[in-house]
C-alpha cells in the first residue's frame, strides 16, 4: 500500500513540476522579445550535472518503489489443449466454464496446497480475475470465436500483501489443473475396500466378481470405442486388455470358481441360502406368470385382429440417399407381434433364472459341503480378487496414458511475471520525463517576471 502511494507521489511531483514550469514559461513569454526568447533557449544548460544527479536519484527511488509495486501483480495463461476445447466443452463433453479457474474449490485447494496463512478464500479470490485472452463478438458469424486461452491475473491487496505473488499464481494454476483432471478427465473407480468374503455366500461372491470384472470390461470397451488403435507403453490396446479380462472372467470366475462351488454344493449357511433361493423362485414365478399372461394376451389380440384390417398399402418413396423404394404402412399386428416376442423373452429369462436357482438348490441338497472344498474355494477367491485388482490397475493405467496422449496434459499454464526489460523501459521513460521537467524548470527561471 505504502509503496503504491510513494510510487504515485513521485510521479505526481515530477508531473506537477513539468506542468508548472511549462505554464511559467508560457505566461512569461510575453515579457521577452523573440531574440531574447531564442537566446534563453540557446544558452540553457541542457546537460547540467546537478540536473543529471537529481534525475538519477529520483529515477532510482521511483524504480525501487515501482519494482515492489510490480512484484504485487502477476498473471498466467491457462491454455486448453484437448480437442473438445474448440467447441467450448470440457474433455468429458460438458460445457466449459471459465469461472471455475478461480472458483471457491480451486482457491481453497490452492490455499491448502501452499499452506497459505492468514488468508481466506474470499480474500484471495478478490485479488484474482480471469478473462479470455481473445474474445469474439456476436455481430456476425465472422466474429464468432471460442476462447481456449484464459488469463488469470493476481494483484495483491492489503489482506494478501504478505504472500508471494508468483507463488500464489503458481498455486492457483496448479490447483486448477488438479481440479480439472479430477473433475473432467476419464475416471474409473471400483470398490476401494475389499469386502469381507467370509461373510458372503459363495455364489454371491461369484456374482460380485462377475459385477467387478464386468465394470472393468465396460470401462475398457468404452475406451476402445474412443480409440481402438491406441497402444500403451506396454504394447497393449484397450481391446487386448479387455480380451484378457474377458477370458479370465469366463475361465476363472464362471468356470473354475462357479463350477467348484456349484458342483460341490459349497455353501456357508445352507438353510438361509436355500430359503433365499426358494423365495427368489417364488418371486420370479409371479413375474413369469405376469409376463406369460401378457404374452398370451398379445397372441390373442393378434388372433382376434380382423383379417380385413390387416391389409397394408405400399408407399413409393425415396430414402435420404435419393434411392427409390417401397415403404409399407404398419398395422397393429406388427406392434403386437413385437410385444409378444418381448414378453416371450421375459418368460424365457424368468424360467432360466428359476432353473439356475433350482440347479443350485439340487446341488446343495445332494452334496454335503466339504471343508476341504470350502478352503480351496476361499483360496481361489483370494487369488481371483488379487487378479481383478491387477486388471483394474492395468485398465486405469492404460486409461490415464490415453488421456495424457489425447489431451496433451489437457491444460498448459504459462506464468508471466514482470520482465526486466519492461521494468527498464518504464525507468528509461520516467528518467526522460524527469529530465525534461527539471530542464524546463531551470529554463522557466530565466524568464523575467516583468517585461
User: In the range 58-97, which residues lie near other proteins by CB under 8 A?
Assistant: 87-89, 91-97
Among 1, 12, 112, 136, which residue interacts with other proteins (rule: CB under 8 A)?
136
Among 46, 56, 286, 416, which residue interacts with other proteins (rule: CB under 8 A)?
286
List, in sequence order, every residue forming a beta bridge with 95; answer none if it has no partner.
Answer: 89
Under the binding rule (CB under 8 A), the answer on residue 35 touching other proteins is: no
Under the binding rule (CB under 8 A), the answer on residue 359 touching other proteins is: no
If the CB atoms of residues 186 and 394 are measured against other proteins, the closer one turns out to be 186
- For the range 205-208, what are the long-range contacts, defined as Cβ-Cβ under 8 Å and sequence gap of 24 or more? 205/257, 205/381, 206/253, 206/254, 206/257, 206/258, 206/261
List, in sequence order, every residue forming a beta bridge with 155; answer none if it has no partner.
Answer: 73
**446 closest CA partner among 54, 30, 27, 44:** 44
Under the binding rule (CB under 8 A), the answer on residue 282 touching other proteins is: yes
List, in sequence order, every residue forming a beta bridge with 328; answer none if it has no partner.
Answer: 314
Under the binding rule (CB under 8 A), the answer on residue 36 touching other proteins is: no
Q: Which three cell numbers stand for residue 27?
A: 505566461
- Piece in contact with other proteins (CB under 8 A), picked from 64-72, 180-188, 241-249, 417-425: 180-188
- Residue 239, Cα to own-chain centre: how many angstroms? 26
Under the binding rule (CB under 8 A), the answer on residue 133 touching other proteins is: no
Among 1, 331, 424, 428, which residue interacts with other proteins (rule: CB under 8 A)?
331
What is the DSSP track for 334-370? HHHHHHHHHHHHHHHHHHHHHHHHHHHHHHHHH-PPP
If the CB atoms of residues 195 and 432 are measured against other proteins, the closer one turns out to be 195
Among 194, 300, 382, 386, which residue interacts with other proteins (rule: CB under 8 A)?
300
- Element at 441 (helix H, strand E): helix 420-446
- Piece in contact with other proteins (CB under 8 A), picked from 109-117, 156-164, 214-222, 253-261: 214-222
Assign residue 285 a region (left: φ > 0; alpha: ψ between -120 and 50; beta: otherwise). alpha
- Piece in contact with other proteins (CB under 8 A), picked from 327-335, 377-385, 409-417, 425-433: 327-335
Among 39, 234, 283, 362, which residue interacts with other proteins (rule: CB under 8 A)?
283
Among 121, 301, 361, 436, which residue interacts with other proteins (rule: CB under 8 A)?
301
- Alpha-carbon radius of gyration of the chain: 40
Least distance CB 360 / other proteins (angstroms): 12
What is the DSSP track for 218-267? HHHHHHHHH-TT---TTS--HHHHHHHHHHHIIIIIIIIIHHHHHHTT--
- Piece in contact with other proteins (CB under 8 A), picked from 2-10, 52-60, 283-291, 428-436: 283-291
Under the binding rule (CB under 8 A), the answer on residue 219 touching other proteins is: yes
Under the binding rule (CB under 8 A), the answer on residue 270 touching other proteins is: no
Under the binding rule (CB under 8 A), the answer on residue 392 touching other proteins is: no
Among 313, 371, 420, 421, which residue interacts with other proteins (rule: CB under 8 A)?
313
Burial 260-269 (b: 16+ CB within 10 A, else e): bbbebbbbbe
If the CB atoms of residues 50 and 279 are measured against other proteins, the closer one turns out to be 279
Bridge-based pairing state of the strands 73-80 and 128-132: unpaired
Q: What distance in Å separates the CA atoms of residue 448 and residue 33, rounded to the nearest whole number?
A: 11
Under the binding rule (CB under 8 A), the answer on residue 123 touching other proteins is: no
Q: Which stretches does DSSP call E strand in 6-72?
A: none
Under the binding rule (CB under 8 A), the answer on residue 218 touching other proteins is: yes
If the CB atoms of residues 81 and 215 are measured against other proteins, the closer one turns out to be 215
Amino acid at each position: 500500500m505504502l509503496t503504491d502511494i510513494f510510487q504515485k507521489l513521485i510521479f505526481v511531483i515530477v508531473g506537477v513540476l513539468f506542468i508548472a514550469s511549462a505554464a511559467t514559461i508560457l505566461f512569461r513569454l510575453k515579457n521577452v522579445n523573440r531574440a531574447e526568447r531564442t537566446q534563453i533557449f540557446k544558452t540553457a544548460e541542457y546537460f547540467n550535472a546537478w540536473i543529471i544527479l537529481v534525475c538519477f536519484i529520483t529515477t532510482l527511488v521511483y524504480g525501487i518503489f515501482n519494482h515492489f509495486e510490480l512484484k504485487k501483480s502477476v498473471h498466467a495463461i491457462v491454455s486448453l489443449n484437448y480437442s473438445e476445447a474448440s467447441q467450448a466443452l470440457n474433455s468429458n463433453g460438458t460445457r466449459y466454464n471459465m469461472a471455475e479457474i478461480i472458483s471457491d474449490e480451486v482457491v481453497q485447494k490452492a490455499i491448502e496446497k501452499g499452506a497459505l496463512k492468514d488468508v481466506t478464500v474470499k480474500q484471495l479470490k478478490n485479488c484474482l480475475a480471469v478473462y479470455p485472452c481473445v474474445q469474439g463478438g456476436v455481430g456476425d458469424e465472422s466474429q464468432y470465436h471460442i476462447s481456449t486461452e484464459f488469463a488469470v491475473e493476481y494483484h495483491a491487496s492489503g489482506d494478501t500483501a504478505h504472500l508471494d505473488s508468483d507463488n500464489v499464481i503458481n498455486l492457483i494454476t496448479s490447483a486448477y489443473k488438479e481440479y480439472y483432471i479430477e473433475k473432467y478427465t476419464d475416471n474409473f473407480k471400483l470398490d476401494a475396500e475389499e469386502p469381507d468374503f467370509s461373510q458372503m455366500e459363495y455364489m454371491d461372491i461369484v456374482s460380485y466378481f462377475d459385477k467387478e470384472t464386468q465394470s472393468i470390461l465396460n470401462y475398457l470397451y468404452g475406451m476402445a470405442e474412443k480409440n481402438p488403435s491406441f497402444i500403451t507403453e506396454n504394447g497393449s490396446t484397450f481391446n487386448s486388455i479387455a480380451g484378457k479380462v474377458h477370458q479370465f472372467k469366463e475361465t476363472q470366475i464362471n468356470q473354475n470358481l462357479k463350477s467348484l462351488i456349484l458342483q460341490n454344493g459349497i455353501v456357508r449357511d445352507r438353510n438361509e441360502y436355500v430359503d433365499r433361493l426358494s423365495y427368489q423362485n417364488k418371486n420370479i414365478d409371479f413375474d413369469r406368470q405376469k409376463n406369460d399372461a401378457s404374452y398370451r394376451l398379445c397372441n390373442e389380440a393378434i388372433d382376434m385382429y380382423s383379417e380385413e384390417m390387416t391389409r397394408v398399402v405400399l408407399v413409393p418413396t425415396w430414402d435420404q440417399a435419393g434411392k427409390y423404394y417401397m415403404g409399407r404402412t404398419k398395422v397393429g399386428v406388427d406392434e403386437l407381434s413385437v410385444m409378444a416376442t418381448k414378453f416371450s423373452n421375459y418368460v424365457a429369462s424368468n424360467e432360466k433364472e428359476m432353473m439356475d436357482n433350482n440347479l443350485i438348490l439340487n446341488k446343495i441338497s445332494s452334496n454335503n459341503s466339504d471343508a476341504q472344498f470350502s478352503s480351496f474355494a476361499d483360496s481361489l477367491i483370494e487369488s481371483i480378487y488379487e487378479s481383478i485388482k491387477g486388471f483394474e490397475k492395468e485398465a486405469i493405467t492404460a486409461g490415464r496414458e490415453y488421456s495424457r496422449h489425447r489431451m496433451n496434459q489437457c491444460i498448459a499454464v504459462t506464468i508471466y511475471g514482470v520482465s526486466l526489460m519492461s521494468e527498464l523501459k518504464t525507468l528509461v521513460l520516467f528518467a526522460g520525463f524527469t529530465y525534461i521537467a527539471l530542464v524546463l524548470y531551470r529554463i522557466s527561471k530565466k524568464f523575467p517576471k516583468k517585461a
